[in-house]
Chains A and B, each alone.
Chain A
């Protein structure tokens, strides 16, 4: 089931799409908060008026605005719409914004004695507290916060579960400590530290952390058509909607896209080149190489452990390769990447190869707003369907599997093994146990693998993979251990989201 936060986010997106199509956004935007929370209806917060105030900020973010940049509280949504409607480029970094009116200002992490306390005789909380911070007053345990060190022992020993830990979900979810509180106690993101992983966005029970949408920009570009508009669709999309991949592509094209391209085609290039890069680096004496397709991970290294950057693969991500494939055909094309990721918005802007990024929620809302049902579509003809390995890039371990398959593909591994040219090999390089002079990629000299050649034999380097399946607070120390050479792994795959992109912050979560 979806949460109330997801329901509201999607409802607003669908309303925006429908009003856009009716050409009524400028006159109707300011009425949406009232329509969604009428005075006689139910409120989610203290009253419908607070709900409406928060809704205004949600719509601001949906128009791509930053709530932090509000200078005139009296500015109408119609006013913001005018600015958003006129811009010709996607709203840039940062991709996240905090709605302080919606932030509950959760009290700091702490341990609290609840009404479940029975003031028992044994008092394990009092006896187990290492700082003597607990005393019993009027038959109820009391914590002296000037002494408490938040170790949590009292919580663990209480037989009545009377002591609980209060949490700040956004701060707890942030793997890099980028969230702090402002003077009013509301959450604030430090964008020097933020890696755009979107974990706070997902964690906040008040949905006060919002992404800055590019929905309006994409609607505009599809309507105005300054050039051919191509959709590059992440492989994680395939499990999101009811219906087949081919039906989904037809549905996307019906939104006005001139071309729909699998990002997995880019993943094939990423995989092949990453395999090559790995072999080169290993033969060059490097100890470790990590994947680079997860933009939140790349930001983590850049901002928090720059010395580790030398180990991160230089091979471009599937999104960048797929965008290049589109641009090779049509240099002026407008490229829209569709994925489950917030950090991709940052990567897109930084690369200059991708013009806009849509999330699956935004894509689904566009289709919902226009009543395009995926399962009722005719199948789209994929001229060159991407391979299964490339499509599995979206799942944890999928990248490694694909790179491994490319490494051991019968390029030279097969040739070397048998000492003879494998007849089925793609790039035969050995002839009769000797390096074929005409071969494109000579890798064997005198029947032995030569370390100096461009494509050294795969078999000399065993890929020892390690996986970081979901970035958290421990990730940085894990990377530090790897950098110190305390781990035998020579290939590290990192996915910011547990399970891979399929569980990205903006995925629809359909199993």
Chain B
């Protein structure tokens, strides 16, 4: 089974605007997600320029950027993806 790719922006803008907790994601991940998610820290995703600055911090989940990310919103998104996968497997 392919793992979900979670990329956390470690750019200074995201860091300044609240990503410090996201950067500790590895330790916060619930047991049931551990085997299913691959976390990497990545340099600035370059999506924080111009007006989208007020939507930082950003993370990328399976290549899709998510704005105003919190640990909770990221968990929610992972849960959705895993449920979708299970549905597809059972079909």
User: Taking A14-B53, A373-B44, A376-B43 as contacts, is the C-beta distance between A2 and B17 under 8 angstroms?
Assistant: yes
Q: Is the CB of A10 within 8 A of B10?
A: no
Report the bound CA distance from A14 to B54 in whole Å: 10
Interface size on A, residues (CB 8 A): 26
Let me know if A11 and B18 touch, CB within 8 A: no
CA A376 to CA B44, docked complex, whole Å: 10
Residues of A contacting B41 in the complex (Cβ-Cβ under 8 angstroms) = 375
A242 near B: Cβ within 8 Å? yes
Nearest Cβ on chain A to B7's Cβ, whole angstroms: 14
Known interface pairs A2-B17, A10-B17. Does A15 touch B12 (Cβ–Cβ under 8 Å)?
no
**B21, A374: Cβ atoms under 8 Å?**
no
A372 within 8 A of B: yes
- Report the minimum CB–CB distance from A16 to chain B (whole Å): 11
Verify if B91 is at the interface (C-beta below 8 Å from A): no
Cα(A373)–Cα(B12), bound, Å:
5
For A11, give its contact among B11, B12, B23, B53 (CB under 8 Å): B53
Q: Is A367 an interface residue (CB 8 A)?
A: yes
Smallest CB gap from B54: residue in A: A11
* Interface bits A396-411 vs B (CB < 8 Å: 1, else 0): 0000000000000000
Per-residue interface assignment for chain A, residues 14 to 47, with 1 indicating a CB less than 8 Å from any chain B CB and 0 otherwise:
1100100000000000000001100000000000
8 A Cβ contacts from B15-65 to A: 15-18, 20-21, 23, 41, 43-44, 46, 49, 51, 53-54
A10 to B17, CA, bound (A): 7
A483 contacts the other chain (Cβ, under 8 Å)? no
CB of A300 to closest CB in B, whole Å: 31
Q: Is A53 an interface residue (CB 8 A)?
A: no
Contacts A2-B18, A510-B20 known; A368 to B10 CB distance under 8 Å? Answer: no
Known A1-B21, A11-B54, A35-B51; judge A365-B16 contact (CB<8 A).
yes
Chain A residues with CB under 8 A of B70: 1
A145 within 8 A of B: no
Q: Which A residues touch B53, using CB under 8 A?
A: 11, 14-15, 18
Q: Contact: A7 with B17, CB < 8 Å?
A: yes
In the complex, chain A residues 342-371 whose Cβ is within 8 Å of any chain B Cβ: 361, 364-365, 367-369, 371
Which A residues touch B17, using CB under 8 A?
2, 7, 10-11, 14, 368
Select from chain B the residue with minimum beta-carbon distance to A10.
B16
CB-CB contacts below 8 Å: A474-509 with B: 508
User: B44: shortest Cβ distance to chain A, in Å?
Assistant: 5
CB distance from A230 to the nearest CB of B (A): 22
Distance, CA A35 to CA B51, complexed state (A): 8
Give the residues in chain A near B23, CB-CB below 8 Å: 242
Instruction: Flag whether A241 is at the interface (Cβ < 8 A).
Output: yes
B18 touches A368 (CB 8 A): no
User: Shortest distance in angstroms between A157's beta carbon and chain B's nearest beta carbon?
Assistant: 39
Give A319-338 interface residues, CB cut-off 8 Å to B: none
Q: In this complex, what residue of A is CB-closest to B13?
A: A368
**Known: A242-B10, A373-B10, A373-B11. Is A364-B16 also a contact (CB below 8 A)?**
yes
Other than the given A1-B18, A2-B20, A369-B13, 4 more pairs (CB < 8 A) read A15-B53, A242-B20, A367-B12, A374-B12
Query: Which positions in B face A, CB cutoff 8 Å?
Result: 10-13, 15-18, 20-21, 23, 41, 43-44, 46, 49, 51, 53-54, 70
22 A-B residue pairs with Cβ-Cβ distance under 8 Å, sorted by A, are A1-B18, A2-B18, A11-B54, A14-B53, A18-B49, A18-B53, A35-B51, A241-B12, A242-B15, A242-B20, A364-B16, A365-B16, A368-B11, A368-B12, A371-B11, A372-B12, A373-B10, A373-B12, A375-B10, A376-B43, A508-B16, A508-B20
